[in-house]
Amino acid sequence: MPELPDVVVYLEALETRILGAVLERIRIAGPFLLHSVTPPLEELHGRKVTGVRRLGKRIVIDLEGGYHLVIHLIIAGRFRWADPGAKIPGRLGQSAFDFDRGTLILTEAGTRKRATLHAARTADLAGFDRGGIEPLATDAAGLGEVLRRENHTIKRSLTDPRLLSGIGNAYSDEILHRARLSPLKLTRRLTDDEVARLHAAMTAVLGEWVERLRKQAGKNFPIKVTAFRPEMAVHGKFGEPCPECGSPVQRIVYAENETNYCAPCQTGGKLLADRAMSRLLKKDWPRSLEELEDRRTEIREIMGVDE
């Protein structure tokens, strides 16, 4: 899912291409994309773009007359910039926004189409704001106040749009690794020093990735938008060596997501219980990397597999 750094770079690319441009028409190909009835899309045609901005993980295109397009890419939605009147790709194409300068195409991979488009008036925009504070516009005290409102795991709180705006699964993993904090530590148990460390890590990780993605895109429209990048420390790196200590990156699997972390760097070497495997193994669940390796050795010996 595109998160704050990816959305920021998308917005910068859009601003140079569509700010001041006229939206000539919107073509909808995906039957489940449009999630609004009023105002009708036809009312937005012929209006000039007055701004582009981020609202959480959503992208908002402001149009003259108090009209707005609100786009949520969810997990697999992506943008392409094409020549005026470009054809919508048959399999992945969901919509096309035709401007007098070019066409913005929205694609979505996979069979489950979750990306959403809303046409809205200014009075409707408040309904899209989940209320989270901006991560790069708060200090450590503000972050601590928000996190301690409720007593959840840090991982959950970082990705809660009611608390923090624009952070998802990928960058929360990177932030927690940089801060050397367990993803399962409860927010009300955070010390002031840990909150300060978390704030510094959040600011650094998000800022560094915005700059990195800017450089990668250059003057081109960003096309390699993904939650899995080789430069990341732990996210998507299960089993690979931690760049800080060399220990294999671990994971907690839940639903369609997973949390990646380094046990020596973040949990004092303790393996966090995986909801699926720990319930299956119960008392046999390894509590440390050493126990995990012992289990693997036992399995190799039983199966007669050489190391």
Which CA distances in Å does 243 have to 180, 191, 247, 266? 13, 26, 8, 13
Q: In this structure, what is the dihedral angle of CA atoms 7, 10, 15, 18, given to the nearest 10 degrees?
A: -120
Q: Give the integer Cα–Cα distance in Å for 244 and 76.
A: 31
**Is residue 302 over pLDDT 70?**
no
pLDDT at residue number 1: 81
By residue range, what is the domain housing residue 17? 4-128
Q: What percent of the chain has pLDDT over 70?
A: 89
Q: In this structure, what is the dihedral angle of CA atoms 203, 207, 208, 212, given to the nearest 10 degrees?
A: 160
pLDDT band at 14 (very low <50, low <70, confident <90, very high): very high
Q: Give the integer Cα–Cα distance in Å for 24 and 62.
A: 14
Q: Which tokens in the block code for residue 229?
A: 């990048």
Q: Among positive and negative, which fits the CA dihedral 36, 40, 42, 45?
A: negative
Claim to verify: residue 123 and residue 236 sit in the same structural domain? no
pLDDT at residue number 296: 47
Mean pLDDT of 7-31: 97
184-210: per-residue pLDDT in tens? 999 999 999 999 999 999 999 999 999
Q: Give the integer Cα–Cα distance in Å for 251 and 118.
A: 36
Q: What's the CATH code of the domain at 280?
A: 1.10.8.50
Claim to verify: residue 138 and residue 282 sit in the same structural domain? yes
pTM: 0.89
Claim to verify: residue 123 and residue 138 sit in the same structural domain? no
pLDDT at residue number 287: 55
pLDDT at residue number 293: 53
pLDDT band at 286 (very low <50, low <70, confident <90, very high): low
Question: 10 Å Cβ neighbour count for 124?
Answer: 17
Q: What's the CATH code of the domain at 16?
A: 3.20.190.10
23-49: per-residue pLDDT in tens? 999 999 999 999 999 999 999 999 999
